[in-house]
Amino acid sequence: MSKAVSIWVDSHRQRLLDELFELIRIPSVSTLPEHVPDVARAAAFTADKLRAAGLENVEIIPTDGHPLVYADWLHAPGKPTVLCYGHYDVQPPDPLDLWVSPPFEPELRNGNIYARGAVDDKGQFYMHVKAIEALFAVHGKLPVNVKVLIEGEEEIGGKSISKFVPLNKAKLAADVALVSDTALYAEGLPTLCIGLRGLVYMEIVAQGPSRDLHSGLYGGAAPNAVYGIIELLSKFKDADGRILVPGIYDDVVDPAPEELASWQSLPFSEAAMLRDEVGAASLTGEPDRSVLERVWSRPTMEVHGIAGGFTGAGAKTVIPATATAKVSFRLVPNQKPEAVVAAVKAFVEAHSPKGVVCTVNVLSHGPGLLVNPNHPAIEVAAAAFAEMMGRPTVFTRSGGSIPIVGEFHEQLGIPTILMGLGLPDDGLHSPNEKFKLANYYLGIETVAHFLEMYGD
């Protein structure tokens, strides 16, 4: 590995941290309209730092939603081109009262940066920016051609980038994409993620009576929208977590026996997962599937929230006219989002309770993804990671989704290296999200090392 990059990182530790803190302090919550100016500030900050790192053609590209940030450096003739991707937007920080320190005031405690976006994805995409800066600083040039594309809508489904990519295939042409937005399988274990689930996110709106009604005068005869949506939702899965929507498993491809065997050799403790990550009385789901299979290679349906009726203090006797549920389906590779949407719509129509009209609005959808671990670029990444951490790299999947990665494959025809340095208990999307500071520095060195090795 490059001693020079390592020395550079060492001698810039404080500045590398200060800059990341500055980025984290910008509350770029993409889903909340009141944060639009903050999201724009995060885009501008990102563009400035890409320019300062030494990249050229830096652009803030307006979209119908939040801007994209692009930059490149294409002066390594004969060398491959790497497309670095990340997202500068973050999830909302609520519930605020559970944070030990304020979500947008990063705090260093026991070796971790605590803040919203620390690991997802500001701390991680910023590793790319700083790796590029380090390489320019020590070599005066980059070992490969580099294009950088950072979006501000990943946490809300990535609509704008998915319009942009197919219209800009030549601009984005590359040999491989590099994304740091995933986690190590375990502390100290170099990990490349080779599978992501896709996601179909929808809102189901139930309409019962035309207005809220007195529950004494009409109860027993009038339909109730909140109870109606509960009845409908309860039909989606059986007690073992199997989804009951006809056709939903049609395109599911089980992992090959070798891949399943490799998962069995990963260190895994259900008790530790329960205690350190989930914090419930027990895990749930398909009893005939291992926990890793359930979250990595099986579809799932989740309810994120139900709104409707009276939820204030005290009591109000009312039959609610409307109710809304936020629902999503995680898809595994080879499942088609459009087919899932159609199957769910038919299911909702068939199972809407009497007197309640249920409509489905799809908010976003993206396919799952599987990367070929034998692709030469993945092999170089695995070797670089292994050298940095002194152990062989493991290949895992993740149950999470990064919508645009599927389109890098479909539209640009390139594989993606998912080289993330988060940890399983980082609490992304949760209160007290964290990023291990040592992994931030290690990530900068690892990304730089990969680019150097890939250039050779």
Does 120 contact ligand BES by CB under 6 A? yes
**What does the per-residue mask of binding to Mn ion show for 171-200, with x meaning CB under 5 A?**
----------x-------------------
Does 439 contact ligand BES by CB under 6 A? no
Nearer to ligand BES, 317 or 361 (CB): 361
Does 433 contact Mn ion by CB under 5 A? no
Least separation in angstroms between CB 179 and Mn ion: 9
For every residue of 318-368, DSSP letters joined together read EE-SEEEEEEEEEE-TT--HHHHHHHHHHHHHHHPPTT-EEEEEEEEEE--
State the number of CA atoms in the 13 A half-sphere of 99 facing the CB. 23
Among 81, 160, 352, 364, binds ligand BES (CB under 6 A): 364
Among 83, 174, 183, 206, binds ligand BES (CB under 6 A): 183
Residues ≥6 apart with Cβ < 8 Å to 46: 23, 69, 88, 129, 150
SS3 107: strand
Sole window of 113-121, 159-167, 290-298, 417-425 interacting with Mn ion (rule: CB under 5 A): 113-121
Sole window of 95-103, 350-358, 369-377, 398-406 interacting with ligand BES (rule: CB under 6 A): 398-406
Residues 436, 399: Cα–Cα separation, whole Å: 21
Q: Which two structure tokens, joined as six digits, stand for 67?
A: 């801007």
Among 19, 38, 72, 121, binds Mn ion (CB under 5 A): 121
Selection from ligand BES, Mn ion, none that 398 binds (CB < 5 to 8 A by kind) is ligand BES
Closest residue to ligand BES in the complex (CB) = 400
Of 376, 381, 365, the residue nearest 84 (C-alpha): 381
Cis peptide before 240 (omega within 30 of 0): no
Catalytic residue set: 89, 154
SS3 75: coil
Residues 49, 53: Cα–Cα separation, whole Å: 6
Sole window of 179-187, 311-319, 375-383, 438-446 interacting with ligand BES (rule: CB under 6 A): 179-187
**What does the per-residue mask of binding to ligand BES show for 419-438, with x meaning CB under 6 A?**
---------x----------
Among 151, 181, 407, 452, binds ligand BES (CB under 6 A): 181
Selection from ligand BES, Mn ion, none that 199 binds (CB < 5 to 8 A by kind) is ligand BES
Q: Which two structure tokens, joined as six digits, stand for 384?
A: 């670089």
Residues 93, 89: Cα–Cα separation, whole Å: 12
Least separation in angstroms between CB 215 and ligand BES: 37
b/e sequence 144-178, b meaning 16+ C-beta within 10 Å = bbbbbbbbbbbbbbbbbbbebbeebeeebebbbbb
Does 120 contact Mn ion by CB under 5 A? yes
Long-range pairs for 219-225: beta carbons < 8 A, 24 or more residues apart = 219/319, 222/319, 222/355, 223/319, 223/353, 223/354, 223/355, 223/356, 224/319, 224/320, 224/356, 225/308, 225/309, 225/320, 225/321, 225/322, 225/323, 225/356
Q: Give the footprint of ligand BES on residues 3-62 (CB under 6 A).
A: none
Selection from Mn ion, ligand BES, none that 127 binds (CB < 5 to 8 A by kind) is none
**What does the per-residue mask of binding to Mn ion show for 67-106, with x meaning CB under 5 A?**
----------------------------------------
The site for Mn ion (CB under 5 A) is made up of 120-121, 181
Residues making contact with ligand BES (CB under 6 A): 120-121, 154-155, 157, 181-183, 199, 364, 398, 400-403, 428
